[in-house]
Chains A and B, each alone.
Chain A
Amino acid sequence: MALLEVKDLRVSVGEEVIVRDASLRVESGEIVDLVGPNGSGKSTLARAIMGSEGYEVEGEIRFKGEEISDLPMHERARRGLTLCWQEPARFDGLTVGEYVMAGCEEEEWARRCLRMVGLDPDEYWERECGEGLSGGERKRVELAAVMAMRPELVILDEPDAGLDMSSLEDLARLIEWMREQGSSVLLITHSRDLAEEVGDRAYLMLDGRIVEEGDPEEIVYKCRICGGDLVCGAE
């Protein structure tokens, strides 16, 4: 049984269909890439799997064999699924410590997760998420918060956006470390290096559809032929 199995998913907002005929699966222990040009529907698919409000969803989403399409988002999270959001919000007034502890019960572990993303917990724990953090720091905090939860499956939506080349290597190590800790990963990225380095398998998304499945190298190549904007290094 696959950890995540999405079948013939159709996601629409009002009259507009954004994702159609999308099928994919992630096995336990796998890191799976999801690549595709800007606007092809990757984030929409990710948010629909997580259960974001405002999308009309048809088709199947099975997590550990259970159909979760009708569950509210927090129930999906409590079953071990989470999303690392492409653009973290500001969370005015909330401290970094509070944010990473939202899905976690052990402070020591949460602090360790901050260290893993390169933030010294002693320095950051009491800092405010809103005004106290730069965009890049916010992104790291989001990654730490996701890991702190010890999810069984995490969807990473462009964790590399806004990171430089050397952090990209750290990010690849971090994703491998997540797997060692027991998390499987669905990785949405525009970074060719990252997709090829950590992915076991890959899917290509074009114009709202998942059109190919294969080796990361092959899928990355096809994505570029199809006008995909994969870049070397990080975006």
Chain B
Amino acid sequence: MRGGVSEEEVFGPAGYHADPDAPRVVVLENRVVNVREREGLVIEAEEREDGVRAELVVREGVRLEEPVHFCVGVPWEEGVQRIETRVVVESGARVTLLSHCSFPRAEDVLHEMVAEFVVEDGAELEVRDVHYHGERGVRLRAEYELEVGEGGRLSSEFRLTRGRVGELEWVSRGVVRREGSLESVVRVMARGEDVVDVEESVRLVGEDAGAVLDSRSAAIDGARVRFVGEISGEAPGARGHVECSEIIRGDGRVESVPKLRVVDPDARLTHEAALGTLERREIEALMSRGLSEEEAVELLVEAMLRG
């Protein structure tokens, strides 16, 4: 069935429909269905056979208060979607990007994302990326190249805590220059057959550059999660921190590997890892209110992944 699926149906939770004028790019499968620019925000989108290429540029010094929605989705049960995207925030500009990737009916969907984020000197980019992969999950391959200029700031947050994951393969490589900072937050809940593999690496190449990689994940009932967070400090005064915490339940499997490479002796890198299980009495307290064990676990895990 390929007709009659509305944007609302796919991106309902994205919430931008409340403001019909909000700046956005909306991609359904391989069609660009909706583009709204702003003064100082230039969007170019090009349709391809199996996906879309989109470029967003925020012009020098332009500070956009309202967030820009970037929504991609596949409304059907199966399909391939390749998204290539480049976001440039020019010097002194700032923008928040709300990215929603939604595959509510997915049975056999492959979503490939190749993205490049360029944050120029003194610019700021905040990315909040919320995924929903339906109740069966999708295959998602994402590759990110991140570049933060002098005094620039990039903070990103990736959340996939509702529904199923499917297979997630995620690689991100970042470079941060003098006094720039990069912060990446990843929150994933994986269940059953889900497989999650996240590799993030950041090079701190300028003096006093900083990075924080903060991941929390849950592996429930057989799911597998692997997280590698790597920071290399290559300049004096560089500061980096890798934090991973995992919750395991049932026979989930988790491997998390913080890697720190101190290239410059004046760089300071730290890491912290925590592994937890849910307390039986927390689950039972909720069950004694009428939640099934599964519902109780979901509520508790979602709460832990929220922060």
Residues of A with Cβ closer than 8 Å to B?
50, 52-54, 72-74, 76-78, 82-83, 85, 87-95, 98, 102-104, 142, 145, 149
Contact = CB atoms under 8 A, between A and B. Distances in A.
B288 interface: yes
Nearest to B289: A103
B303 A93 contact: yes
A72 B288 CA distance: 10
Contacts of B293: 72, 74
Interface in B271-304: 279-282, 284-293, 296, 299-300, 303-304
Nearest to A78: B290
Contacts of A50: 284, 288
A50 B287 CA distance: 10
B289 A91 contact: no
11 contacts: A50-B288, A72-B287, A91-B300, A93-B303, A93-B304, A94-B300, A94-B303, A102-B289, A102-B290, A102-B291, A149-B290
Contacts of A82: 288-289
B20 interface: no
Closest 4 A/B residue pairs (Cβ) = A103-B289, A93-B303, A77-B290, A94-B303
A210 to B, nearest CB: 22
Nearest to B302: A93
Interface residues of B, number: 22
Contacts of B305: 93
B285 A89 contact: yes
Nearest to A53: B280
Given A72-B287, A103-B290, A92 B303 contact: yes
B281 A89 contact: yes
A104 B290 CA distance: 9
A52 B279 CA distance: 13
A103 B291 CA distance: 7
B15 interface: no
B304 A92 contact: yes
A145 B291 CA distance: 13
A50 B293 CA distance: 14
B2 interface: no
Which of A53, A54, A78, A102 has its CB near the most chain B CB atoms (within 10 A)? Answer: A102
A74 B287 contact: yes
Contacts of B4: none
A213 to B, nearest CB: 26
Contacts of A92: 303-304
A74 B290 contact: yes
A126 B281 CA distance: 22
Contacts of B300: 91, 93-94
Interface in B66-122: none
A89 B291 CA distance: 16
B159 to A, nearest CB: 14
Contacts of B289: 77, 82, 102-104, 145, 149
Contact of B299 (A90, A98, A104, A149): A98
A43 to B, nearest CB: 12
B299 A94 contact: yes
A91 to B, nearest CB: 6
B192 to A, nearest CB: 20
B286 to A, nearest CB: 5
A144 B305 CA distance: 25
A104 B289 CA distance: 8
Contacts of B279: 89-90
B283 to A, nearest CB: 9
Contacts of A93: 300, 303-307
Given A53-B280, A72-B293, A74-B292, A102 B286 contact: yes
A91 B282 contact: yes
A82 B285 CA distance: 9
A74 B303 contact: no
Nearest to B290: A77
A139 to B, nearest CB: 13
Contacts of A72: 287, 292-293
A92 B306 CA distance: 10
B281 A77 contact: no
Nearest to A149: B289
A73 B284 contact: yes
A102 B299 CA distance: 9
Interface in B234-289: 279-282, 284-289
Given A77-B290, A89-B282, 14 more contacts: A50-B288, A53-B284, A54-B280, A72-B292, A74-B293, A85-B285, A89-B281, A90-B279, A93-B300, A94-B303, A102-B290, A102-B299, A104-B289, A149-B289
Contact of B281 (A85, A95, A103): A85
A73 B288 contact: yes
A42 to B, nearest CB: 17
A72 B300 CA distance: 19
